[in-house]
Amino acid sequence: MVTAGLAGIGMALPPQYEQDWLWDNVFRAHFNGSRIAARMFDTAGVARRHSTTAPFELADAADWSTEERMRRYAERAPALGLRAVRQALAAAGTEPDEIGLLAVATCTGYGTPGTDIELARTLPLRADARRLLVGHMGCHAAIPALGAVADYTAAHRRPAVLLCVELTSLHVQPATRDIDQAVVHALFSDAAAAVVVRPEDGPGLRVVDVAARTDTVRRGHMTWRVTDLGFRMGLSPEVPEALSEHVGPLVKDLLARHGLDRSEVAGWAVHPGGPRVLDAVAAGLDLAPSALDPSRKVLAEHGNCSSATVLLVLDEILRAGPPDGPIVMLAFGPGLTLYAALLA
């Protein structure tokens, strides 16, 4: 049976800024010196993060129209994505003309022709290569998108590429007293991450299965609204509790379909939505404190890069050497939606 194997991961990161520096030089004035906002920045679990929007631009970005933000996305995202894809292809030993499908996941910028077309031109891809845009799903988009490219690869026996490219810095919102906006501005970051999957019938890390769980009753707990001044995130403080409730049944069902138990999982690539989210996932799965160290490290070093983040965590795990057992990927987004993938 031909399955989809993970052949290479690549990432591209824009300039990095210290969290304390961003607070002192940009966001202290933005939040009018609010002590509550300062505490949100201190407790976000982020030491440094990345931004394609320079600090001198961030001060003005809150007043940019959505059109202006999309123009800047179109200027910056393709080059960042190209770096990540080329790195992933090199790691996989795969040439661009082998690729049968390119999937691009993003929730921070739109336009047609877009990033997928620019990559098809600059890599270049073959004229018959398929393209898929996974848009506005939020932080969990990498996992359903990975499922799509894996299904394609297994069915057509051709390599495929997934690129997640997010420029969250383009969506700085006008000054407000809302605590949830202080949390959002303290967490989010820019990044691109790509993964190449190839048809495999031998050993190696394969995409075995993907599962989802959606709590529509709590659909308003996490939102990502398009406004005249960019995209505005809504984030309820009840999100961690909801995730803790759902993550256990989601993972149990996924593993049971393949005769596995939670104790057999060797690695947890969990999207670091924030320290409280990671604590809630650990509690919901009854994990040892060290099980989510890769997620906490990525949060500290890169911030929350929306859909790209879970791939950064997976890369962090694999850099330490392939675990002796399966890996579970987990990510969360608006809906309220949880996605999980089993890699083995």
Return the active site residues.
139
What's the rounded Cα separation, in Å, for the pair 224 and 181?
A: 12
Please give the full DSSP string across 158-181, using - where no structure is assigned: --EEEEEEEEGGGGPPPP---HHH
Helices and strands of the chain, counted as H and E runs: 12, 13
Q: At what angle do helices 179-187 and 35-42 cross, to 10 degrees?
A: 40
Beta bridge partners of 195: 9, 162
Nearest to 243 by CA among 210, 260, 221, 267: 221
- Please tell me whether residue 130 adopts helix, strand or coil conformation: strand
- Which structure tokens are listed for 172? 């700085």
Beta bridge partners of 237: none
